[in-house]
Amino acid sequence: MKKIIIAALMVFGFGRVESQTPKGSVLIKNATVLTVTKGTLENTDVLVENGLIKKIGKNLQASNIQVIDATGKYLMPGIIDAHSHVALDAVNEATAPITSEVRMSDVIDPYDIGLYRALAGGVTISHALHGSANAIGGQSVTLKHRYGSGNPSDLVMTDAPRTIKFALGENPTRVHGRGNGIQPRTRMGVEAVIRNGFNEALQYKKAWEDYNAALKQKGANPIPPAYSERLQSLVDILDGKVIIHCHSYRADEIYMLIKVCREFGISKIVFQHVNEGFKVAPELAEYTMGASVFADWWAYKFEVYYSTAYNAAILMENNVITSINSDSGELIRHLYHEAGKAQRYGQLTDEQTLALITINPAKQLGIADKVGSIEEGKQADLVIFDGHPLSVYAIPQMTFVDGVKYFDVNEDSDDRRLKVSATEALEPIYLKEHEHRCMHGVDFFFTNFGRNLFTHEH
């Protein structure tokens, strides 16, 4: 009897400790389904059961679940933003050139209204990155926009692989070199910091391997080496367990990091921003997991002048896995417009264009087997638009994550904040918040360089 009680307690206990995120069931009827990977299906039904896409077809039936008539509407996969800083309490631990030990999952702000705004723009997944102050920044986290519970861990996409932020160029050299007088002061220094980090990680790995091997020997009393999550995270990168997402602009430094990664046997790397990516497109295609770019944003600092609105199209035509990201709490609300710009300049097909904000960022985050397209068996992250999402007139109508509706344009009350101040009628709004947040938390040490160089802070 006692045993049974204990067993029962364990079963129930575990169920409660590992809180389950909500999973929904819904039948969406008669939509134009933009699967992204399997073409466009007219007048098609999508059946979602318990958070997963169960069936795609015509005349589907289901009992006891909500049915949504989407006649004349478009259904596309939830938009995925491969570069965001939404729902974070802190973005930059800008105090050391390598901070691979810090975790964005520690500082998730589940109350950030930015999550709801993103949902209203059809974005169901965002990649919450560390900022770009450090050559090697923190471990990022992939968020599913399950807005509402106030529990940060409910937002984490637990089945996404680990990712980490790297940064090249002006930001790390300004912060550490000019700001603090330490390495890196130049682009050469950034490379040296990264190489030294990896070499130290190799030594760290060996120290622990030797220790663990010695432990197995009878009568041995090995002394454990010092612990360093900073180096362990770099070891995990070398072991292929973590995908690098590297802030970069210039072709030369992109190529530099490709070479460094090849030298250390690292193949899981995505470049972020990549404004000069079009110059090294074949190399990006061959050696990396792709490039995540802006549609037409540049010239906010010196290293971002050589840019083109054709970047995404050139990369794509060169078989680089390409995505378009927001890096902004404002752009995240209309990434479908941003993708549309790439189509306008580069004459991409609709399917290629939608891939920029769905399956391609999913590939870059290592989650393409779970999300990013409308396929049976995938997680039911879906958006219904009233028109084709690449039309400037289209407006998202409903957004689902795991089959649960988190946004409905018809039930969109004015105040969707989860939590409000107990004292202030008007909470402070930072005028710069709509700008890119890569350098969030990092004040500029030099202020006399002229406004134009520094007003945008990726």
Partner 1 sequence: MLNAQFRKKVKLLVMAAFILGLQDLVAQSDPKGERRVTGTYAIQNATVTTAPGKTLSKATILIKNGIIESVGTNISIPKDAQLILADSLYIYPGFIDGASSAGVGKPADAERPANMDPSKPTDEVAGITPWRNVLDYFDKNNSQIGDWRKNGVTIAQIVPEGGMLPGKSAIVTFGHSSSSNVIAAQVGMSARFRALGGGRGYGVYPGTPLGIMAKYRDVYKNAEISAKHNRLFASTSGLARPEINKTSEAMYPVLDKNIPMVFEASSDIEVRRVLSLQKELGFRVVLAGVTEVDNVISEIKAANAAVLLSMKLPEDKITKAKTEGLSEEMMQRTKRIQESYENMLKQAAKLEAAGIPFGFAGLGSKSADMLKNLRIMTANGLSENGLVAALTTNPANILGIGKFAGTIEKGKLANLVIMTGPILSEDAQVKHVVADGYIFDYEVKPKKNGNEAKTNGSGNGTVSIEGVWDYVSDTPAGSSGGTMDIKRDGNGYKGTITYDSPSGGGKASSEMKNITVSGNTLSFSFGVAANGMSLDVEVSGEVNVSQFTGNLSLTDYGSFPLKATKKPNQSNF
Q: Which residues contact partner 1 by CB under 8 A?
A: 16-17, 89-90, 92-97, 99, 101-104, 106-107, 109-111, 130, 133, 138, 150-152, 175-176, 179-182, 221, 223-230, 414-415, 417, 419-426, 441-443, 445
Query: Structure tokens of 147?
Result: 């807005």
Nearest-approach distance from CB 229 to partner 1, in angstroms? 6
Nearest-approach distance from CB 182 to partner 1, in angstroms? 6
How many of the other CB atoms lie within 10 Å of CB of 304? 20
At position 195, the amino acid (one-letter code) is R
Nearest-approach distance from CB 280 to partner 1, in angstroms? 31
Nearest-approach distance from CB 217 to partner 1, in angstroms? 14
Return the number of the residue (305 or 445) whose C-beta is nearest partner 1: 445
Nearest-approach distance from CB 423 to partner 1, in angstroms? 5
Query: Structure tokens of 36?
Result: 């992204």
List all residues 6 or more positions away from 53 whose beta carbon is below 8 Å from its beta carbon.
Answer: 46, 47, 374, 375, 376, 377, 378, 379, 380
Nearest-approach distance from CB 95 to partner 1, in angstroms? 4
Return the number of the residue (96 or 251) whose C-beta is nearest partner 1: 96
Return d(Cα 260, Cα 20) in angstroms, integer. Answer: 41
Cα torsion 388, 393, 397, 402: sign = positive
Return the number of the residue (176 or 250) whose C-beta is nearest partner 1: 176
List all residues 6 or more positions away from 140 whose beta carbon is below 8 Å from its beta carbon.
Answer: 104, 127, 128, 129, 130, 163, 164, 165, 245
Query: Structure tokens of 402?
Result: 């795991």
Return d(Cα 49, Cα 275) in angstroms, integer. Answer: 41
Return d(Cα 78, Cα 209) in angstroms, integer. Answer: 43
Return the number of the residue (59 or 221) whose C-beta is nearest partner 1: 221
Return the number of the residue (370 or 416) whose C-beta is nearest partner 1: 416
Return the number of the residue (213 or 299) whose C-beta is nearest partner 1: 213
Return the number of the residue (131 or 329) whose C-beta is nearest partner 1: 131
Return the number of the residue (56 or 442) whose C-beta is nearest partner 1: 442
Nearest-approach distance from CB 169 to partner 1, in angstroms? 17
Return d(Cα 5, Cα 108) in angstroms, integer. Answer: 37
Nearest-approach distance from CB 344 to partner 1, in angstroms? 36
List all residues 6 or more positions away from 99 whose beta carbon is below 8 Å from its beta carbon.
Answer: 93, 130, 134, 136, 137, 138, 230
Nearest-approach distance from CB 253 to partner 1, in angstroms? 22
Query: Structure tokens of 146?
Result: 């399950």
Peptide bond into 184 cis (omega under 30): yes
Buried b (16+ CB within 10 A) or exposed e, 5-29: eeeeeeeeeeeeeeeebebbbbbbb
Closest C-alpha among 117, 114, 138, 147 to residue 22: 147
Return the number of the residue (221 or 410) whose C-beta is nearest partner 1: 221
